[in-house]
Amino acid sequence: MLSMLTRESMHVQLDVRSGRGQRVLRQLGDAVRTTLGPAQAFTQRQDVVRRAFVSAVIIAALPIQQMRIPGWPAVVIACVAAIVYDALLAYLVFVKKQYFAAQVLGLVLDALILMGASLYVFREMGAVGSASDIWLVFLIYIVIGGFTLAPIGSLLYTALWTGWFALGTLLYFPSTSQFYEQLPIRLIFFVLIGFVALAMARELQKRRVRLEQQNRQTMEMLATLVEARDTDAGAHLHRIQHFSRALALHLGLTRREAQELANASMMHDVGKANVPDVVLKKTGPLSPEEWLIMQRHTIWGESLLAENQDFEMARLVARWHHEHWDGSGYPDGLEGAQIPLAARIVAVADVFDALISERPYKKAWPPETALQEIKQIAGSHLDPQLVEAFFELWEQGTITEIIEQITTAGANHDSPMAQAA
């Protein structure tokens, strides 16, 4: 699934040294995402349109004579504000593709603006002893907001609004008023809404998990079929997968982001499906014409993955994992931080694994020799900060553990190394 990692498209220059101190922040980020659920492109686009539509409908309905009660101007102001900040959210979603930022910002602004307006409405109603049901307009946001979150987030969101409604009632309505006396019934109503939202959120979560599993299985099968033409597919793919995950975690990315990158890394050479065997399996040096054909596997890979937005991370990796830090790579000659971080991470893992693997044209190198080679090409071929981070993983024993475990287990998906680093 497409997550905030693609901000994001991973055109982000991380500081490796600061990443070492981000363990707590990573855990906090994991907790937030567990609460909110994945920030998906489709969901956030829907949310932007939904927020503007609901606000416009409420504004259009309020002038009806029966709804002109104390506090209604605050509702209009809140809805206008929602439409205004929805423009900012639309920019984040449709232009910048920062889905997680839009999700968090939308929830925070909704809470601040709508809760503030609802409290003002209750104060005005309490001042004149009104028992109007204008507060029901806020239930639209409660219900829809609860549906879009993860189960625990849905529960917390409904509980927050329930508590806020109870607070407004207790603060501004006398105990003898009809509105105050009906509080228990309304609280039960809120609880029932919470149960419905929770059930819907759980069902949506199950569907997301199933879809993610199907996408991952599709990527793995396709990648294995392609890699089997010219490498020891299982070991090669899974070493790169675990190297990429471990490096991403070491840089401070969340576990979800690291796993998404690990899955995408398996698709880095999927474009080789279009490379003829005479070129792909050639044991000697490639001619200039053959080399041009080989280079096109990056473009073919992107083309294959571009039609499915759930493969966006894999698309980035497939096209740009052969770009070089100094701009001498292919297919686009990107340099430095222009290269998506996902592609830079996979490039380090891919180069190291290619060196320690046997190929038709070379023997496998010892890991220590391969490490010295990637150190030599840091700053020209590879991102020097990522190479430094990779060396740190080597010194910690993580890289050796990955190599030994995959060699022993035969690229077992369910191995403990799936949670490496």
Residue 420, pLDDT score: 39
Residues 361 and 414 grouped into a single domain: yes
Q: Per the domain annotation, does 358 fall within a domain?
A: yes
Residues 253 and 374 grouped into a single domain: yes
Q: Per the domain annotation, does 22 fall within a domain?
A: no
Residues of the domain holding 92: 37-207
For each of the chain's 421 residues, which pLDDT tens digit applies?
334 344 443 434 444 444 445 556 666 766 777 778 777 777 788 888 888 888 888 788 777 655 566 777 888 898 899 999 999 999 999 888 788 888 889 888 888 888 888 888 889 888 888 877 766 766 676 667 667 788 888 888 888 888 888 999 999 999 988 888 888 988 888 888 778 877 877 887 788 778 777 777 777 677 666 666 655 555 778 889 999 999 999 998 888 889 889 989 988 888 888 888 888 878 778 898 999 999 999 999 899 888 777 788 899 999 999 999 999 999 999 999 999 999 999 999 999 998 998 776 678 899 999 999 999 999 999 999 999 999 999 999 999 999 888 877 654 444 434 343 4
Residues 44 and 192 grouped into a single domain: yes
Residues 174 and 276 grouped into a single domain: no
Q: What CATH number did the domain enclosing 319 receive?
A: 1.10.3210.10
Residues 198 and 268 grouped into a single domain: no
Domain end marker among 178, 207, 236: 207
Residues 155 and 283 grouped into a single domain: no
Tokens 């991470």, residue? 345
Q: Per the domain annotation, does 4 fall within a domain?
A: no
> In 10 A of CB 268, how many CB atoms?
29
Residues 201 and 253 grouped into a single domain: no
Tokens 């605050």, residue? 74
Residue 134, pLDDT score: 66
Residues 333 and 408 grouped into a single domain: yes
Q: Characterize 197-221 residue by residue with b for buried, 16 or more Cβ atoms within 10 angstroms of its Cβ, and e for exposed.
A: bbebbeebbeebeeebeebbeebbe
Q: Per the domain annotation, does 11 fall within a domain?
A: no
CA distances from 281 to 228, 229, 295 (A): 11, 8, 14
- Burial (CB < 10 A; 0-12, 13-18, 19+), residue 116, is middle
Domain end marker among 161, 178, 207: 207
Q: Per the domain annotation, does 220 fall within a domain?
A: no
Residues 136 and 236 grouped into a single domain: no
Residues 297 and 376 grouped into a single domain: yes
d(CA 191, CA 114): 20
Domain end marker among 147, 177, 207: 207
Residue of 71, 156, 155 whose CA lies nearest to 119: 71
CA distances from 122 to 75, 135, 346 (A): 11, 8, 55
Residues 48 and 143 grouped into a single domain: yes
Q: Per the domain annotation, does 395 fall within a domain?
A: yes
Residues 203 and 239 grouped into a single domain: no
How many domains are there within the chain? Answer: 2
Tokens 């020209």, residue? 380
Q: Per the domain annotation, does 82 fall within a domain?
A: yes
Q: Per the domain annotation, does 284 fall within a domain?
A: yes
Residue 66, pLDDT score: 55
